[in-house]
């Protein structure tokens, strides 16, 4: 089973900030949180990752709660091109596996 829980779908108005939540209540102290997205008919694309500090890059921001049991991916100004399935992934060290969940299907509304 995936170690993360995400809502199956979300809507966001174009130009607004899209906030995608992820729960990872069993995350270990040395596990990272990674975010990928998959636009229809393309391979998954790396977005951002973090350990415990908030991170920001040219694509998004990642906010990780102090207890590290959940995180939020923020797309500051969503565009129609951000319509995709967003995957939140935690490295599962003890099983030596990378497990993807079903992700969140984000719909950007014009």
**Binding site residues, another protein, CB under 8 A:** 32, 36, 38, 42-46, 49, 51, 85, 87, 91, 93, 96-103
For residue 109, the surrounding DSSP H or E stretch is strand 104-109
The region that residue 87 occupies, defined by phi over 0 for left and psi between -120 and 50 for alpha, beta otherwise, is: beta
Q: Which residue number, 13 or 56, has a Cβ lying nearer to another protein?
A: 56
Q: How far is the CB of 25 from another protein (least distance, A)?
A: 20
Q: Which residue number, 16 or 46, has a Cβ lying nearer to another protein?
A: 46
Given a contact cutoff of 8 angstroms between Cβ atoms, the answer to whether 2 and 98 are in contact is no
Q: 80: closest CA among 21, 34, 39?
A: 39
Q: Which residue number, 14 or 83, has a Cβ lying nearer to another protein?
A: 83
Q: How far is the CB of 47 from another protein (least distance, A)?
A: 10
CA 102 to CA 27: how far, in whole Å?
18
Q: How far is the CB of 108 from another protein (least distance, A)?
A: 20
């Amino acid at each position: 089973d995936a170690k993360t829980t995400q809502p199956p779908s979300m809507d966001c108005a174009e130009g607004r900030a899209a906030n995608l939540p992820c729960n990872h209540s069993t995350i270990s102290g040395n596990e990272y949180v990674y975010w990928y997205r998959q636009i229809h008919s393309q391979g998954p694309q790396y977005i951002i990752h973090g350990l415990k500090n908030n991170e920001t890059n040219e694509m998004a921001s990642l906010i990780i709660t102090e207890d590290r049991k959940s995180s939020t991916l923020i797309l500051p100004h969503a565009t129609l091109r951000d319509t995709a399935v967003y995957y939140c992934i935690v490295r599962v060290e003890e099983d030596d596996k990378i497990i993807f969940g079903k992700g969140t299907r984000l719909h950007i509304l014009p």
